[in-house]
Structure formats: C-alpha cells, structure tokens
Structure 1
Amino acid sequence: MNDIRLVDETLDINLTLTYNLSIQLMLDGFSFCIFDSVRDKFIALYHKQLNVNNMSIEDYCKELNSFIENEDVLFQRKYKKVKVLYYTEKFTFVPTPLFDKNNLNKYISLNFDTNNTERLMINELHNAEAVNIFSVSEKKIQLLEAYFANVKIYHQSLPVVETSLVTYKNKTKVFKVIVDVHDNSFDLLVIKGRKLILFNTFSYSTDDDFSYFILLVYEQLKLNPEETEIIFMGNIHKKDEKFIKIKKYIRHIKHEKLDEGFLYSYTFFDIPAYKFSNLLSLQKCE
C-alpha cells in the first residue's frame, strides 16, 4: 500500500473540537482519519506505509512522532474524541458471564506472553457478549497520550465484530465470513445472525498460505463453499493473486462497502471503499 493523503477542502482547522480523530496502528504502518461530528461526515484520511520488516518499537515510534510533528498542523490540535485502533495478535476473548477482572493474568497466561513494556487493555464487545483482553506497546500509547487527551484504545476485532453482528442480525440461518487483509496477516470473523462463531488472526507468507487458512476454517466449521459468502476488506483487490486463488474455491465473494449511515468527502472515492473499512467503522464504537 502507498502513502495516502485525502483532505476535504471544507475541513476547518479552527473546528477540530467538533471533530473526532481515529488513529490506526498496524505493524507495517499507521493511519489518521478525521470525522466531522456535526455533519456526520468523514473529511480527511492519512496513511503512512512503513516498508520495513521487523521494525523495532523505538523506530516505529520515531516514525509516528515525526508524522504527527511534520505531516500536518492538524495533528497538534485538540479533538472532541480520539480513538486508537490497535492491531495485535496478542488477544483473547472471554465470555462476559465468565469474565472476572481479577483473573486477567490467568486468562492471558493460556494465550500469550507479556512483559513490562506492554500494557493490558480490555474491550467489552456487547453484541458478541464477550470481553477482549489484549496487549499494547506502552511506548506507542504513551507517545499518543502525550499529544492527545482522553485517548480510548480499541483492539482491531471490536469494529468488525460489533458492526457485523448488527448488520447481519436478521440472517439467523446464514453464516457470514468477513476477512480483513493486511500485508502479512489477516483477521477472520465468522458469524451466524447475532452469534459470534470465530474470530482469529492468521499470519501468512504466500498466497497459498492465505487460501489454505481460509479453506481450513471452512472445513473445520463445515461451511459450504458453494453457499457461505466471504466478504473482504483491507489490503486486497480483485486483481490480487490472493483474491483470484480463493475465488476458485469459494463461489460467493464480495468486498465490503462504505457504511451508508455516514457522509464521505468526495476525496474518499479516490481509493477502494473497502480499504479502510475497519478504521471507518470505529466511528460507531463507544
């Protein structure tokens, strides 16, 4: 993915206290999105691609700090709300009725390791009736907190899970598979009506790996590839080899569309609607 800078000419730097700022932190880059809460309109989107494998936390923070300081004076302003969408494979879901905040270490010990450079966070997924416990880099979050007040942090699962369960709540007899694709990993969600069946993150290095993991989920959950639709978002397009390969095995494939409940600057139509679906969906989450 290339760097992106989309700004509507109606954006007013003096009105940022009426704007919501959403920030997406991924391993291979970061994005900033500005939403006008008065007009219910997305008015700016910035993306910085980091073409470095295994970048250290320190180098990542240097890039992020430089972007905030130098990309646009907008990012030194105060905002009505600031939300951070944090991508990490270190997470685990616990059913809400079984969740006990006093047992956090017990939950994570079964799923991932942490150290003193990380901070444990909790998101409640009300529609999924689950609590997500996840780990974030202390340095990355402290950097953002130094610039922005009242930062709220969300795991990447929250927007796609919560919005999908609402969107397809009446499809009680139909499975839906939603896949958010990144350069070297993807998040896969399976739902049936308002029921969460599966959410997991898969790492891949080849297009064959990508197809294998998706088809493995279909096989293990006994999903019919002739009937069960798969919906893609993120970094995948119709001419992508990954897309072409998976289309050989799954009949019904489509890309996510923009949420019709919001307005969008005309500049947003310069990129595919599905590219930043999860980040834009964060606007619906509290």
Structure 2
Amino acid sequence: MEDLLFESVRYSVHSDSFDVAQLANYSLHLRIHQSCLTIGVFDAENNECLVLESYHYDTAQNTTALIVNLHNIVQKHSFLNAAFWKNVHIISALPSFAFVPEGIHDEESKQNILSLISKFHQKKDNIHVHPKSGETELCFAIPKELEEWLSDMYSNSQVSYNHTTESFIVEANALFGNVLHCYIDVDTILITKSDDEKVRFANTFKYKTPQDLLYFVLFVLEELNIDQQEAEVVIWGEVDFHGESIKTLKKFINKVSAGTRPTDVRFAYQFDQEPQEQTAIDIIGNMKLNK
C-alpha cells in the first residue's frame, strides 16, 4: 500500500513552517475529483499555505469506488487521518453542479435541474446551495455516502462543503479578468466565462484526447459568440503547459496563457519549483474564502 501511495503522487510540497503537532491550528482543504485528490493545509493566522499535495487514482465509476480510492490514500498518509483540525473544507470537483436563477426556491426544481445535467440521485445525494452575486445560486450535489464517510473520519472537526467552481471563478477572474478560464484535470475540463460578476458559462466536459479538449473549447467559444482568433484562454490545473494538449489549443487559438499563483497568500521557497503556478487555484482560493 505504501508503494501504491508513492506511485500515485503527482506532487508533494511542504513548507518548513508545517508542524504536525500544530494541526489543531490549521485548516485542511481536500479537493475531491473522480480521478484525483488534492490536499492543501492552510495557516490562517500567518496567511500561509503550508502544504500542497496531489494523488491520482483510477477514475471512480461510483461513490463506493471513490471512497475506496480515498481510503487507500488516507490510511497510509502521514497526517490525513489525524483527528483534530481547526476546520476541514471539502471542495467537490464532481460534475453535479449548476448555477440557477435566485428565484428558484423549491428543492424539487433544483433537483430536476441537477438531474438533467448530471447523474444526480435524490435518494443518494445531498444538495448544497450557496448564494452568489449576479442573481444566481450555486447548487451542487455530493453523495450522502461520501459525506457520511468524511463526517466519520473528521468527527472532531467542523466539516464544510464547497464546489470547485466557487473559489475557482472568483480567483481566476480576480487574476486575469473575464476571459475564458479552463481548469484541466486528468480526464475532465471545467470551462467558465463571466461578465463582471455574473457567470455566463460554467460546465464540465469529459475528454480523452487533446483533440477532445480543443473541440470543447471551440464549442464554448462558438456558443458564446466569441471569435477564436480574438479569444483569450487561460489554462489552470495539473496539466503540462508545454504538452500536446496545449500545443493543439495554440494551433487554433492565438492567446493561450498559463494561470499564475495568487500573491496575497504566503508561500515558502519550497513551492518555487512545484507545483506549477496554474495548479490548485481552487484550493488556494478556498483558503482565502474560509480564513
């Protein structure tokens, strides 16, 4: 199992300031995706990101498989199974989410919307609703089985739930403005576009090849009536900016750039080399939202 943990790590960076004996003073941030787990530890008192780690696993086709993947990492991890944290923040990167008009108040309508765009199951999923600016609400679903597992593991800490789009959109727009933002995971791409503070587009697509990525980006540009020659696209996530996927995008879109790390959170020199600056923007944003 230890070998499995080592083989699944994509990066693991710790500040010299990180002290396992001080976990009760830190907040833990877990970004849960069907194919990967990203970990962040934040010291709010000193406004410092202390830890960023990422692990990949076989894409989970159901909640039970996802929990097994997470359990395998947690049980062999040096501090993830610690009982006492100041706070635990779960960032769902699962595809069941929607921005809905603020006027839709009844639960059934929100369930119907999530059912239309994802594999939402009323008996198996919990809905979370977060009011947003621009007269919309962010609705997202998390499997009840996953919430129960997390609550049991962190029973001594307060556990909160957010969706990756929440902090990602805020941070990406703050850093680069209302351009097209693409967060690329192992097998999904999240594409967002805002006008001022209003979310104009936000959706997740599954992909297998660089050509798939290109297709979805061009599709969204066409849907938004944005000329691909004039479009500005900023890339985020754990993707090689010099790899084939980005090279393919650049053949058709002139203005493609990599995201950068926020400057209003402290990072020690250990983070100078990895992870790449466009990585974990939603975790860092979540740290800021939950100071």
Normalising to structure 1: TM-score of the pair?
0.88
SS at match of 2:64: helix
Structure 2 contact 189–204 (Cα < 8 Å) conserved: yes
Q: Which residue is equivalent to 2:105?
A: 99
- After superposition, the C-alpha distances for 1:186-240 in whole angstroms (9 at most, x for unaligned) are 0000112222210011111221111011112112212122332111100222321
SS at match of 2:28: strand
Q: Which residue is equivalent to 2:75?
A: 69
Relative to structure 2, which stretch is displaced further, 88-97 or 52-61?
52-61
For residues 56 and 108 of structure 1, the distance between their equivalents in structure 2, rounded to whole angstroms, comes to 17
SS at match of 1:73: coil
SS at match of 2:211: helix
- Percent identity over paired residues: 16
- CA RMSD, aligned part only? 2.3
Q: Which residue is equivalent to 1:255?
A: 258
Which residue of 84, 94, 115 maps to 1:88?
Answer: 94
Structure 2 contact 30–38 (Cα < 8 Å) conserved: yes
Q: Which residue is equivalent to 1:179?
A: 182
Q: What is the count of residue pairs matched by the alignment? A: 280
Structure 1 contact 247–253 (Cα < 8 Å) conserved: yes
2:219 maps to 1:216 = yes
Please report how far the alpha carbon of residue 2 of structure 1 lies from its aligned counterpart in structure 2 after TM superposition.
4.3
Aligned partner of 1:17: which letter? A
For residues 45 and 267 of structure 2, the distance between their equivalents in structure 1, rounded to whole angstroms, comes to 13
1:181-260 correspondence to structure 2 within 5 Å: 181-260=184-263
Structure 1 contact 22–279 (Cα < 8 Å) conserved: yes
2:143 maps to 1:140 = no
Aligned partner of 1:42: which letter? C
Q: CA distance change for structure 1 residues 46 and 164 in 2, over 3 Å: closer, same or farther?
A: closer
- After superposition, the C-alpha distances for 1:220-263 in whole angstroms (9 at most, x for unaligned) are 21212233211110022232111001111111111111111100
Name stretches of at least 5 consecutive residues in structure 2 with no aligned partner. Answer: 1-7
Q: CA distance change for structure 1 residues 5 and 109 in 2, over 3 Å: closer, same or farther?
A: closer
Q: Which residue is equivalent to 1:36?
A: 43
Q: Which residue is equivalent to 2:4?
A: none
Q: Which residue is equivalent to 1:281?
A: 285
SS at match of 2:271: helix
For residues 232 and 223 of structure 1, the distance between their equivalents in structure 2, rounded to whole angstroms, comes to 17
